[in-house]
Structure 1
């Protein structure tokens, strides 16, 4: 499974969470090294090593390549039309152009190492570290992976979990305190994002990487957490996080990045020829404004485009401080069902594109004027709230989980290229130099999720599993829906030239085609695995798998849960457990993206992955 976020703007497509759960299920079973230090101190050391490669199966389509970068000609039938023209595509195509059909875009060796120690008086310590090295990501066709992008994409060593946990008795009830890098996982959602579970950032680089385990996807953060039983049926948990860390996006120019301006290595927000067609400035010539030097005839460098106002450079990221915390309570019913209530104060982990104003620095617009912008900035909006409720139960062979999450101040991104099309005035144009023109609006959001899990036996589904020859299997399924009661779809129906960027009439940054988002959208994700033991009389177990993420209705207004009608992703995989003394597993999968037309920049990025992993 792969982290489902519809983070197409950030390099992840909707079925990502689905694949992640699979990766957890098919990570090699640990044969940890056990040790005993005496005096009641014991522990284990476990390592998982993997080697993997990912290969593109189709060539880039001109539909997802900027006109200036060799994309479809303006007006071409291959280019679908949206509410606005496609000026933003020049800022999303580096990863698409960098890797051709049949070429590996990633070949990695990676490892995860866990040290677990248990001591007297219910004291526990966990240390987890991960590393990787990629040997293919820099073999690009067009844009070099260098600087911060190189540092982020080629190799990494990181400390993940690192905490001390102390259990104790309080008022005759069990309790524990945990201090250090840890993950807080609340709610019932298994395969989608955007609900209750908001405490930890995601390492989105790993969401689509082969050979990655689920425990690597959530970035542990320094926290103080406490959990306790209040009665035999009622329990409470609370946490406070120190500092702030955003989710890690795919580096600019890598295969899964669809926002060149964001992620490590993103340097500038470019204006395509479409956006500059009405601007006459120094060095501009007809038909190639802002991309070709009028005197030399050669392409302009990044520095030259920035100097001439044909691009906006990246400024310092805008990040909040600490003040992330939450509290939850769970009540166990006599039936075995469980009811939960949650509140969390959090900061957005994904960036909005905002602008730093400067009256002395005018950038070009399609209106023939300029816009007083000094730089764009990745802004992480702080002090958001989420209220949630959950319920889980078991009906027959299915374990069910349900959750509802309400966010009174959810932020929705504004298309960052709007000012190039319209030269927006109003609130932002009147701001003094150094002020921030915020690239988002606030609204209310409800999200509802229903998930189910079934452990399959040969007799399941009326014996169908056995008829298919399988001995057992697993089915995970989840439906999620988002609802924005105050979403005003008329915002895109009025002239934008006089509208403030951060006020009323704004285009939501939901997709490249700029379809008007709907108040409600939703979809379904599922993952089915069937196990075939002792294949051909050997000890080998083979497990075919099908993971699907499908938008059923509506157009998503934001990236989580990100379902849009008829847009989806399918992964077909074969997992092989060789049942050797030292666990050895292999995985071969093919991923296809479909639907959405120009609104789905992943549609031409189908790929295959091959991985081999072992634990010891």
Structure 2
């Protein structure tokens, strides 16, 4: 108990809340002051060392994000105090931590970030570096309303320093053919679609977390990928480009429990899934393979290793043609790309083939008769054991895409479009359908399908 002279007693919780709010106000003031001091956005400097030119552009931003609305009770699970909507449906217990962690007027971000663009050129060679660093006081404190972030999620959000782009390049004129080669971490934009996923440029990895940061620009969302890129002109109006990506980069999703996260089992710091839960705490649910007193207690579904189809078999070719005689001139592009999906597809592995197999496992540990009627206690143990072997994973399949694009101007207005076709494009199978497929359909005594460790009887991805 903390007592303030001349006032009523103040609890430790109230004192902590007061300090948190006063700190938030001070931070907000500092953020706005920093934004004012660095108005204009950037500082640029150029240097020359003999024949080498060096330019450095520095951008510093500071900003805050807060939640202005109260929670909608239909957007979090009834176990956590939520309510059902008009259709009698509620929100999954595996998708509400991001909502519960922040109340009305809570700060979601209190961020200071600095980014430098460093470019050097010498004759026909050059390099480009983009180091960046940030600090977010909200996640450094990690004092959230419902559940503090896991160490892995916190590490992504509290502070970090990284080098984004880092590549070297050379430009040559080879018998009238202008040629460029770049090697290293770089961003590559093909096609004309900027905001719609699944097009020609879907091979470009994104960082969703960065674009959520106050003051972020569109370029902050693009993750540089390690690759070799080359382009050359065939004629003044015709050119060819190609790339080979020699290491895999996936799209970075919002960490589990952060404000914009849409579920608790994706992103960094993902939690075990909960089935049949009456508490939202995987630490208190039964560990995999253990026997709770009955099958109605919560069962944890642990995450297992990601399944990445290929980390190096990723490449693409583009042919560009400028039709100068069409209107004001039209840029045409034709593309072929093969890459490993940047987005995850949810899948499950199952336990024993059926309830009888689960009973055999239980009987090997617990002395007792064979599982019999539905009310048999060993039936409950067998079901719990089978469910306890269930695990989830994320699959990253190979995708091939063919595409075409155009861009022109009509009376001063830019007009562009693209067409993309991905044969055998993988589409994610609903997790509910996958869960249902793990039951053999024989009723109350039904068990889980598939030999131990096998994929669910429905794959993570299906045909288009």
TM-score band, normalised by shorter chain:
0.7 to 0.9
CA contact (8 A) 2:347 2:434 kept: no
Secondary structure, aligned partner of 1:90:
coil
Q: CA deviation at 1:370?
A: 5.1
Aligned to 1:49: 60
CA contact (8 A) 1:68 1:272 kept: no
Secondary structure, aligned partner of 1:136:
helix
2:377 matches 1:388: no
Q: CA deviation at 1:198?
A: 2.2
Which is helix-richer, 1 or 2? 2
Aligned to 2:243: 239
CA contact (8 A) 1:153 1:250 kept: no
RMSD: 2.8
Deviations 1:207-235 (A, max 9, x none): 22211222221111110110010111111
CA contact (8 A) 2:256 2:264 kept: yes
2:370 matches 1:377: no
Deviations 1:440-462 (A, max 9, x none): 33334xxxxxxxxxxxxxxxxxx
Aligned to 2:461: 441
Q: CA deviation at 1:116?
A: 0.3
Secondary structure, aligned partner of 1:207:
helix
The higher radius of gyration belongs to 2
Q: 1:29 to 1:242 in 2, by over 3 A?
A: same
Aligned to 2:199: 195
Q: Structure 2 length as normaliser, TM-score?
A: 0.76
Q: Which has the higher contact order (CA 8 A, sep 6+)?
A: 1
Which is strand-richer, 1 or 2? 1
Separation in 1, partners of 2:40, 2:205: 25
1:330 to 320, 326, 333: 320
Separation in 1, partners of 2:284, 2:48: 59
CA contact (8 A) 1:111 1:132 kept: yes
CA contact (8 A) 2:348 2:460 kept: no
Equivalent residue runs for 1:463-478 within 5 Å: none
Q: Structure 1 length as normaliser, TM-score?
A: 0.58
CA contact (8 A) 2:438 2:448 kept: no
Farther-moved stretch of structure 1 (253-262 vs 185-194): 185-194
Separation in 1, partners of 2:432, 2:413: 47
Aligned to 1:350: 343
Aligned to 1:415: 430
1:318 to 304, 307, 314: 307
Secondary structure, aligned partner of 1:409:
coil
CA contact (8 A) 1:416 1:439 kept: no
Aligned to 1:33: 45
Q: 1:71 to 1:305 in 2, by over 3 A?
A: farther
CA contact (8 A) 2:300 2:388 kept: no
Aligned to 1:498: none
- Name structure 2 gaps, 5 residues minimum: 1-38, 293-297, 353-357, 363-378, 442-446
Q: CA deviation at 1:28?
A: 4.6
2:222 matches 1:218: yes
Separation in 1, partners of 2:384, 2:154: 38
CA contact (8 A) 2:299 2:387 kept: no
- Name structure 1 gaps, 5 residues minimum: 1-26, 274-287, 293-298, 445-616
Equivalent residue runs for 1:420-569 within 5 Å: 423-425=438-440, 429-437=448-456, 439-444=459-464
Q: CA deviation at 1:386?
A: 0.7
Separation in 2, partners of 1:372, 1:68: 21
Aligned to 1:227: 231
Separation in 1, partners of 2:406, 2:182: 26
Q: 1:419 to 1:236 in 2, by over 3 A?
A: closer
2:283 matches 1:301: yes
